[in-house]
Amino acid sequence: MTMQLILIRHGLTEFNRARIFQGQSDSRLTEEGLSQARLLAPRIRALTTSPRLYTSDLGRCRQTAELIRDPDHHELIEVTGLRERGYGLFEGLRKEDIPGLHPEVWSRYESGDPDYAVPGGESERAFRQRAVEAVEAIADRHPGELVVAVTHGGVLSSFACHVLGLPIFDGPVPFEVGNTSFSRFLRDDGGRWTVRCLGDQGHLGDPSAAEVGEG
């Protein structure tokens, strides 16, 4: 039986706005981020979904999930594997400050080597494996169902690259998944995934105005 998975990126955070690497550290949603989640909520509640709504255990995702769920239908299930990539040394730093503070580490990071991990963080290869395994585990529990999960830009991008057959690389992807974007994936009986839609922000009214930040 074909199952459908909707992956949602969390709302805009203070760190997103300030261009600070979040990784597995956290910051709360801005007023805009809260508004984004509230605008998304009717879209989620109009669907016939599994009563289990999954979320990364990081606060920005949990906060988004609380705002979009139907409190009379959805139970929130936290999944550590849906966390953003760990950026170690970079977390909490403004992107433009890092080259001056850690030039050698930044140069290695910018090289695009998928096996390089910032000290204290994860490599892109290890991160993709972790993200894909977490998503597959959710899908395995819900054959034939429509499931919603709230996660991070990195997880969404990494999983979409996996489904699209793009190679593992540490660099910009050829698509955007902005805050509270809605992406739908289908998995058939043979375990094959397809992308139905990616990065849809139609619920925001003016998606061109949405900001995109790290994590």
Query: What does the pLDDT look like over 141-168, one tens digit per residue?
Result: 999 999 999 999 999 999 999 999 999 8
CB atoms within 10 A of CB 161: 20
Which of 10, 74, 152, 203 is labelled catalytic? 10
Q: Phi-psi region for residue 2, left (φ > 0), alpha (ψ -120 to 50) or beta? A: beta
Mean pLDDT, residues 58-64 taken together = 98
> CA dihedral in degrees (183, 124, 141, 50; nearest 10)?
-30
| Confidence at residue 209, expressed as pLDDT on a 0 to 100 scale | 47
211 has catalytic annotation: no
| Confidence at residue 185, expressed as pLDDT on a 0 to 100 scale | 98
| Confidence at residue 131, expressed as pLDDT on a 0 to 100 scale | 97
Q: Which of 74, 174, 97, 177 is nearest to 131 (CA)?
A: 177
Mean pLDDT, residues 42-61 taken together = 97
43 class by beta-carbon count within 10 Å (0-12 exposed, 13-18 middle, 19+ buried): middle
Mean pLDDT, residues 48-66 taken together = 98
146-151 and 3-9 strand pairing = parallel
Rounded-to-integer distance, Cα 202 and Cα 211, Å = 14
pLDDT single digits (tens) 80-127: 999 999 999 999 999 999 999 999 999 999 998 999 999 999 999 999
| Confidence at residue 144, expressed as pLDDT on a 0 to 100 scale | 96
| Confidence at residue 215, expressed as pLDDT on a 0 to 100 scale | 61
Tokens for 84, please give them: 């953003």
Of 60-69, 116-125, 167-176, the range with the lowest mean pLDDT is 167-176
Evaluate whether 184 touches 85 at the Cβ level (below 8 Å). no
Side chain identity, residue 207: P
More confident residue, 206 or 131: 131
Over the range 89-126, which residues count as b (16 or more CB within 10 Å of their CB) and which as e? bbbeeeeeebeeebeebbebbeeeebebbbeebbbbbb
Using alpha carbons, list the distances in angstroms from residue 60 to 36, 43, 63, 161, 174.
13, 20, 5, 23, 25
Which of 32, 84, 91, 214 is labelled catalytic? 84
More confident residue, 41 or 171: 41
| Confidence at residue 5, expressed as pLDDT on a 0 to 100 scale | 98
142 has catalytic annotation: no
Evaluate whether 70 touches 45 at the Cβ level (below 8 Å). yes
pTM of the entire predicted model: 0.93
- In this prediction, residue 169 has a pLDDT band, given cuts at 50, 70 and 90, of confident
Mean pLDDT, residues 58-86 taken together = 98
* The residue to which tokens 């489904």 are assigned: 163
- Residue 179, strand partner residues: none
Q: Is the pLDDT of residue 132 over 80?
A: yes
Evaluate whether 118 touches 49 at the Cβ level (below 8 Å). no
Q: Report the percentage of the chain scoring pLDDT > 90.
A: 90
More confident residue, 207 or 169: 169
| Confidence at residue 173, expressed as pLDDT on a 0 to 100 scale | 86
